[in-house]
Chain A
């Protein structure tokens, strides 16, 4: 059973470009979470999604950031018009059950975004 798959592992974007980060949850998992890890900082919650639904986006910046988890295919975290401050490691986690939620979440290897 493959773990949480994120791609690309490394992404370089120029200021003003769009960044698309993909996450395929573990087989059988229908809940996806995105976290951001800035240098020297802990992981910060961004958004929680189920298939075709955004459940909690309280950690998402109000502008330029969006996330989706379509019925088919991976979850996508999209950052429009990237700025240098968006440079960070973005981690996706998935869990199988709502009642155990994030306590049983398994993390992917992350996408390291560098904005130049």
Chain B
């Protein structure tokens, strides 16, 4: 079993739709959870960073963590064509941990 599972998609939605991206993880020691956005041929860009269960909102983006079910989500409201990218979930055991464990990424296309 992989440490972090993420549906690779691809996911295609119309502009304005609400997008839900999800990951599951297996290691209870994971404490910090991140979502990265990666445009084609570019480096990953940190979108959201959360610790512990609950929700965190930033503009059109909401990150949700449910530690009891080892499930993390990213919601994008009012999706835009510029949101078209690959979204990577990542996690690590502690704030000072040196390594991030990534999901494979979900490729999202928002159609105008």
Interface residues of A (CB under 8 A from B): 4, 31, 33, 35, 40-45, 48, 55-56, 58-59, 91, 98-110, 112
Contact = CB atoms under 8 A, between A and B. Distances in A.
B34 A103 contact: yes
In the A-B complex, the 3 residue pairs with the closest CB atoms:
A48-B98, A42-B102, A107-B43
Given A91-B43, A101-B97, A102-B98, A40 B92 contact: no
B101 A45 contact: yes
B102 A103 contact: no
Interface stretch (B14-22, B44-52, B61-69, B76-84): B44-52
A45 B103 CA distance: 12
B6 interface: yes
Q: Looking at A33, A58, A98, A103, which has the most chain B CB atoms within 10 Å of its CB? A: A103
Contacts of A110: 42-43
Main secondary structure of the interface of A (DSSP, over half): mixed
Nearest to A109: B43
16 contacts: A40-B104, A42-B6, A42-B102, A43-B44, A43-B102, A48-B98, A91-B43, A91-B44, A100-B96, A101-B95, A101-B96, A102-B98, A102-B100, A103-B49, A106-B46, A109-B42
A4 B102 CA distance: 20
B99 interface: yes
A109 B41 CA distance: 8
A105 B45 CA distance: 10
Interface in B82-112: 88, 90, 92, 94-105
Nearest to A91: B43
Given A101-B92, A103-B32, A45 B44 contact: no
Contacts of B41: 112
